[in-house]
Amino acid sequence: MAPPPRTISQEAFDEMVKENIDDLDMEPAEALQDAIQTLTLQGVDLSGIVTCVPGESNPVIECLERLKRLDSEPVVVDLDGVVQVFDQIKDLCAAEIANAAIATKNGAVELACSLCSKIAGSDAALLSAFNAIASMLRDVQSTGAFQRSNGPRIIVDILNDNKQKIDILDSGFHVVASAATGDEIVKESFMELKVDELVMEIMSIHKNTGIQNVYDAIRALLTPDDNRVVASQVYGYARKFSKIGIADAIVDSLRAGLSSPHLVSACITLKAIAVNDEICKSIADKGGIDSVLRCIDDSGEQGNKAVAKVCCSLLSNLAGSDANKNAIVGKGGMDKLIKLSARCADDPSVLQEVMSIISVLSLRSPENAARAIEAGAGDLAIQAMEKFPAAHQMQRSSCLMIRNLVVRNPENRTILLKNGIEKYIRKAKQTHGNCKDAATDALRDLGLDNYNL
């Protein structure tokens, strides 16, 4: 593990600049640049340090001074002033990531959390506060400050008090998503506060409209993205989300198809919940496979490639259950996938997703592999590999699909070799390093003796 970066306090930095001016007779601008250059060469992390010429003011620090004055009041009267300063912080943090580090290092997260409890009666002030907090939560230093400031409970309490207000809910769940990203401790805090039950209730109340940041919050809570922990608890959280009915609620939202503005988010979120065989089968029982296949059909017809890709990716997850594989094929899934590939033949990223799901459907299933060849999967592989030789991820997906199509189906080997698949696999192997192993396996399972060449 790499050693932590060296740090310096604001006071020490300011003193170094002052010494350059007083002892070395440097001009203020020269003294500042010398200090920055010297410390950078020494490997000192200057994030969060205000690097202004002595005498100049920093807009982030000015905002924090205003926040401190507002927070010092037992009752906040100047709500317009609260909105103004939080909006300014949000804009500063959005404009430059260094501003977010300065704000965090100087107590902005703690101040914002404290003020949230005092302005809970003002929707406008809460919205501005939530947006500012979300803009500052960018790393474990800021999310750690949020945790220590009782941020999770403050946000959950406010959300519980505003279940009918879509704007407050959307901004509040934006904070949940930002705070939970990359921080296992914050995820755990939200789960202990029963945020899953709150999410279920909000989705039930607003099932006809949907709230974008609710989906983002679910995904953040279910993503194992904190490299400080060895074993994440997020898979257990996914089971809890499924058990209380959130997966079913998302499946219900998929029935709106491409008319839903949140379809892409819903698919990605459902994939995050579908972490085991039991959940995948329950999603299928609720009608999830039918809904996804219909969306795949519609996305191809309307040329909506973003929807096509996420639907194929979700279907790949659901096909992790052997029972679901047969259900997908039985519902005409192979034909729908090949039709989609024909409609999106100019986009290798869509073709890659199509081949990935066919690969999963064909795994350990000679019947499905035979059905895939009948539907045109072999022609898809040859045409795509020939048309997009530089698309290395698609080339790899094609090699993986070919292997699953032939490993238990000798008759498929004959068909593919006769149609010239070998030269495309060998070209992918020679051209792309990430294709080497997949191409070698495909050549071997095609029955070729010189598969290692």
Q: What is the pLDDT of residues 170-220, one digit of tens each?
A: 999 999 999 999 999 999 999 999 999 999 999 999 988 889 999 999 999
pLDDT at res. 405: 98
pLDDT at res. 7: 86
H-helix or E-strand spanning residue 44? strand 44-45
Mean pLDDT of 300-319: 97
pTM given for the model: 0.89
3-class SS at 6? Answer: strand
Instruction: Find the helix packing angle between 123-136 and 79-95, rounded to 10°.
Output: 20
H-helix or E-strand spanning residue 7? strand 6-7
**How much of the chain exceeds pLDDT 70, in percent?**
99
Would you list the domain boundaries of the chain? 1-56, 246-331, 362-453
